[in-house]
A and B are shown apart, each in its own frame.
Chain A
Amino acid sequence: MNLNEWIFIGLFFALGWALPATPIVLGKILAPKRPNQVKQQTYECGVEMVGSPWTQFRAQYYIFALVFLVFDVELVFLFPWALAYNQLGLFALFEMTVFIFLLVVALVYTWRKGALRWS
């Protein structure tokens, strides 16, 4: 490979570091520092902080996350398929039917097992 191309990679590398580092360093040097109690708090969507963040989360979140993931991934695959539907034809329709069938099986299973009920 030509040496010049390597110089570009090196340049980008340096630039990549410099761009975020400069404002942080500048901010440290230039910004006035007058801390008070409200400013020091952890940012939590403007809601007042309650207790320590080191608490245990409900295990149900995990099942919801799994179910969410199923449909999230489904959408990722369905979208490009729908866009290119005209060129793909029967083959892709069949494949998508199989795919959605499997997800429906999973949904019926979780539903029936009561995983969607928040209790």
Chain B
Amino acid sequence: MSGVPSLSDLNLAATLPVSFLALYACLLMIVDLFVPRTRKHITAGLTMLGLGIALVLALLPLAGAARFGDGERAFGGMYIADSFSDGVNVIVLITALLGVMVAYNYLDRIQRQRGEYYSLLLFTTLGVMMMGAAGDLVVVFVALELLSIPLYILSGFRRPQEASEESALKYFILGAFASGFLVYGIALIYGATGVTDFEGIWAAVEEIVAEDASSKYLLLVGAGLLLVGLGFKVAAVPFHMWTPDVYQGAPTSVVAYMSVAAKVGGFAALVRVLGSGMVNFALDGGLVAAWQDTVWLIAALTMILGNFVAIVQSDLKRLLAYSSIAHAGYMLIGVAAAGSAPVADEAARAVIMYLMAYAFTNVGAFAVVIAVERDDASNTGLESMRGLAVKQPLLAASMAIFMFSLTGIPLTAGFIGKWFVFKAAIAADLIPVAVVGVLTSLISAFYYLRIVWYMYFESGESEAHVPVPLAWAISIAAVGTLLLGIFPYLLSDMTHKITLAFGP
């Protein structure tokens, strides 16, 4: 680096989807100040418009129709606009669009229709997008905070309802603690390598491995702490404790969005840091990274605990919370597979595909919970599903699709996601953990299909409010889940260009 960088060095055009949405979110916050309380549909509509434009900007390069900017690097390599970040952008933007649709009427119902909801949602989305595009550990940290802080506020959006406040405080305190771990991990990695950008880390790791330098222990501890910080965000065992409480207490529309968005961000960063920056961190001279064993062990524990504890849950939101823990386990299999250098790209693709499938399915499932929930946050028990098929046949059918997809039954998106993740695991020679994944999927069928059973084969006094935007969101999610399941090439075509590798 010599002297002062010039404006063209920034390569701002490459960051177009993110920089556009950042500007838009700031302006929306100001515009909303002049929108009267009773006309917040204007704010919601403008939010959808901004997200829609950003989605088009993210889809264009992915479809090969346009390339923004001069190469992939922006801000001196701190921001990487490659096909991986495009994939992350598309997933989180679709999630955010669905998130606004499920939120609008729900906020009216719970009397919390405030413009800040939409600005905060946009800022979180920005954080996730930056996570996916991070080329530097410092950016990972900044993006993680940008992703987390709005989520803490959104969790408490139902203030002064006690459950919501408790959920926000719990999430905030534990989240701040996890961020501390992450920063300490970054510091240790910097201590071992002397750099914070992924390419520099990659080169430094290569050197450390070649010389067998003692700084490898520092690197190992640093990677471990990083895993703690990001593992918290994606709710991996043993850092999952907050998940059920936060998901149960937070407004359901927030949970629908954050159960997906926080995972997209966390996994994007995990794949970038471990699978790209430290994939060559092999201590015994092989091709397998030193962190792989830890990650697959966490994956196995996460799947086992998430699925077994979900069986005994009697509340839909808690059940879906444990189910989201379990799904973090399946995605972690993909991250673990990325530890074998030859499989790294395939594993990254598998994680992206799983996230895409999970986004449609999980937002859809929570949207159904929003439909049956009463205005005072009650009626989210499993029994609220009894007899839903008689009263609301379409709603029940959609819920059935989501449950099948979460189980991983063929012809749904969930199956495709699991298929690619297990395939990557087998290619990376991680057969035991793939076996655990298949077995726990079988167990998960018990509690997912029990909901389907309740809806179709038991009678009860079920009720549901399905306003138009919510109906649209559920339909889009259901159609998306089925489309990706029946035509998996839609996904694999989109992701086949994803590569992570540095160096030769």
Contact = CB atoms under 8 A, between A and B. Distances in A.
Contact of A89 (B6, B29, B30): B6
A101 B34 CA distance: 19
A12 B6 CA distance: 45
B504 interface: no
A57 B135 CA distance: 45
A109 B6 contact: no
Nearest to A113: B33
A89 B9 CA distance: 13
Interface stretch (A19-27, A48-56, A90-98): A90-98
B7 A94 contact: yes
Contacts of A105: 26, 29-30
A14 B265 CA distance: 51
B431 to A, nearest CB: 50
B1 interface: no
A91 B33 contact: no
A88 B7 CA distance: 11
B5 interface: yes
B168 to A, nearest CB: 18
A90 B7 contact: yes
B10 interface: yes
B4 interface: yes
Given A91-B9, A91-B10, A109 B29 contact: yes
B6 A90 contact: yes
Contacts of A112: 33-34
B5 A91 contact: yes
B6 A108 contact: no
A4 interface: no
Contacts of B9: 91
A88 B4 contact: yes
A96 B226 CA distance: 32
Interface in B298-344: none
A88 B30 CA distance: 31
Nearest to A105: B26
Interface in A70-119: 87-92, 94, 101-102, 105, 108-109, 112-113
A116 B26 CA distance: 20
Contacts of B4: 87-89, 91-92
A70 to B, nearest CB: 14
A91 B7 contact: yes
Contact of A108 (B7, B10, B30): B30
A92 to B, nearest CB: 7
Contacts of B6: 89-91
Contacts of A91: 4-7, 9-10
Contacts of A87: 4
A101 B10 contact: no
A93 B12 CA distance: 15
Interface in B10-48: 10, 26, 29-30, 33-34
Nearest to A89: B4
Contacts of A88: 4
A101 B26 contact: yes
Interface in B427-463: none
Nearest to A94: B7
B5 A108 contact: no
A112 B34 CA distance: 9
A46 B6 CA distance: 56
A108 B5 CA distance: 31
Contacts of B5: 91
A67 to B, nearest CB: 16
Contact of A109 (B7, B10, B33): B33
A113 B10 CA distance: 35
A91 B7 CA distance: 5
A119 B33 CA distance: 20
Interface in B102-155: none
Contacts of B7: 90-91, 94
Nearest to B19: A98
Contacts of A102: 26
Nearest to A87: B4
A105 B122 CA distance: 15
Nearest to B30: A108
A101 B23 CA distance: 10
A92 B33 CA distance: 31
Contacts of A94: 7, 10
Nearest to B34: A112
A89 B437 CA distance: 56
A89 B6 CA distance: 8
Contacts of A90: 6-7
Nearest to A102: B26
A106 to B, nearest CB: 9
Contacts of A113: 33
A81 B293 CA distance: 48
A113 B7 CA distance: 36
Nearest to A108: B30
Given A91-B10, A101-B26, A105-B30, 9 more contacts: A87-B4, A89-B6, A91-B4, A91-B5, A94-B7, A102-B26, A108-B30, A109-B29, A112-B33
Interface of B: 4-7, 9-10, 26, 29-30, 33-34
Interface of A: 87-92, 94, 101-102, 105, 108-109, 112-113
22 contacts: A89-B4, A90-B6, A90-B7, A91-B4, A91-B5, A91-B6, A91-B7, A91-B9, A91-B10, A92-B4, A94-B7, A94-B10, A101-B26, A102-B26, A105-B26, A105-B29, A108-B30, A109-B29, A109-B30, A109-B33, A112-B33, A113-B33
5 A-B pairs with least C-beta separation:
A112-B33, A105-B26, A90-B7, A91-B7, A91-B5
